[in-house]
Amino acid sequence: MNPDPDKTRTANRYETGGLPAIEEHDLPPGRHQFHKERLMNRIHDDRRTTAARTPRNPFLRKAILLPAATALAGALAVGVLVLTPGGNGQPADRATGPALTTTIGVVDAKGAPRLLDRISLAAAGTEAPNGRAGQYIYIETRSANTYVKTVGDESSVVSTPLHTRQSWRSPDGLDGWLIEPGTTGPEGITLAGPDETGNTPKPHLGAPSHDYLAALPTDPDALLRKIYKETEGQGSGRDQQAFTTIGDLLVESWPSPRLTAALYRAAAEIPGVVLVDNATDAAGRKGVAVARLDESSGQRTEWIFDSKTLAFLGERTVQVKGTGGEGGLIKPGTVVFTHAIMVRAFVDDIKVTP
């Protein structure tokens, strides 16, 4: 059976902060290539263009599996979304499953600025993510990706299973932990220590810390100028890279309401940004999307928002034009990458969950 992200995966919804929690079905189990998270920061500029050829790096997304009671308690206490997992008990490091596909949403070329204006107003009114000294930022997501797998002389399009990922980061970015089934092992790995050159890592737009985000300008024009300047020469074009960078800041970190609103207003100024009438995140939550097509790959990256609350749900990349991957095997309608933000909260220590 071909898993379809546009098929609602069901039931028992807990709504906190406007975001519903959904029990979903796992995809057939698969395998991830292991990468150290900081290594991914080095290839941040080209990871979008290579996504069609190899599995998206697992260290870009986060996760955890929580019992339903614990999940609900965390949501009520912290005001964040918590997923109640389906849990089929299958390991995440076996054979990959069939390719993810979806219905391609209809584009409104003029609707994005109006929607982003509404989204920015909604974001500005949310509660600021404030933690106490010594706490960690905990982020959890569900994600999956599609790529071309070659065995011998035969190639086919496969998808990794929908899986959870959890990460903890200190506000300064110097300490942290990552757990992702099938990628790090059950105990996870440390994110502390020097980078691959032996130096203390410095936060930047491609790998921001919480403290770094607090220092970014909240004027949309100044923010967009900074993004253009610091990502010059990266990715598959100036505007596409700016859109990618903003999307990563929305997903990979926890910006303040003012900064989040500024990011949305900055995105509205990027040429080629459009509204998509229908999109579904990795947890099966349907909504509307703000998107941009990468003309070089034919892939459209979509930021998905709840249609009523305008809360940011997640992101996906869909092949919408031409073909991608080795031998052009990735056809239009293929979900190249999909993920959903499930939890963002401050916690007291590594491996502690809300």
Q: Domain extents for the chain?
A: 15-347
Rounded Cα gap, residues 249 and 227, in angstroms: 11
- pLDDT score at 271: 98
- pLDDT digits 0-9 by tens, 233-284: 999 899 999 999 999 999 989 999 999 999 999 999 999 999 999 999 999 9
What residues contact 244, with CB distance under 8 A and at least 6 apart?
48, 235, 301
pTM of the model: 0.74
DSSP state of 152: T
- The average confidence (pLDDT) of the chain is 78
Q: Name 206's Cβ contacts closer than 8 Å, sequence gap at least 6.
A: 41, 44, 45, 231, 245, 248
Question: What is the enclosing helix (H) or strand (E) of 40?
Answer: helix 37-42
C-alpha distances in Å from residue 170, one per residue of 115, 128, 208, 289: 33, 17, 11, 31
The per-residue pLDDT for 96 is: 56
Lookup: tokens for 310: 């305008």
Distances in Å between the alpha carbon of 314 and those of 34, 158, 268? Answer: 23, 22, 18
Alpha-carbon distance 269 to 281, whole Å?
25
Q: What is the pLDDT of residues 300-341, one digit of tens each?
A: 999 999 999 999 999 999 999 999 988 899 999 999 999 899
Q: Residue with structure tokens 């339903």?
A: 68
- Determine contact, residues 287/279, Cβ cutoff 8 Å: yes
Burial class (CB in 10 A: 0-12, 13-18, 19+), 34: middle
